[in-house]
Amino acid sequence: LAFSGNNELVGSPENGNFLGILELMAEYDTFLAEHIQRQQRQRHVSYFSPTVCEEFIDILAKKVLNFIIFEIKQAKYYSVSVDSTPDITNVDQLTIVFFFEHNHLAKYIPSFFSSSTHRWNLLIDALKPLHLPTIKPLSNTRW
């Protein structure tokens, strides 16, 4: 989802999703509406710039990631699904999906990681900074 548009003008139909969402929220929030009106008349920092938007997204991403890590650490069991595919520029895009049960484990089904050693190494490298319990391969014959 693109957050910035062709211009950064409040009220413009081409100002992007970030300013568009702020304008929508301002319809229901008088404080935000007043702030937007003041910023249209003034030429100093408004906190609507693409840099601030990116920083805001980074902060939210870290908060969401920390919450997910907390939830995974609280779970008795969790599983990981890993997939990767090259994008249009041939850069490998790795997707890691965690599955976990809060209350009880419905059924335990052992599974083996793909025979791709490269994908296994990518998974382990991605999990190290998250400080999650170590994942152990169920079989050394598939590596």
Report mean pLDDT in 10-residue bins for the chain, 143 residues. Answer: 71 78 89 84 65 85 91 81 82 83 58 61 76 61 43
pTM of the model: 0.51
CB 105 within 8 A of CB 135: no
The Cα angle at residue 42 between residues 28 and 27, in degrees rounded to 5:
10
Please tell me the distance from the alpha carbon of residue 87 to that of residue 93, in angstroms, as a whole number: 7
- Residue 98, φ and ψ in degrees, nearest 5: -105, 140
pLDDT digits (tens, 9 = 90+) for 98-138: 888 776 655 554 555 555 677 677 777 777 787 776 666 55
Q: What is the pLDDT of residue 143?
A: 40
Please tell me the distance from the alpha carbon of residue 69 to that of residue 48, in angstroms, as a whole number: 30
Burial class (CB in 10 A: 0-12, 13-18, 19+), 19: buried
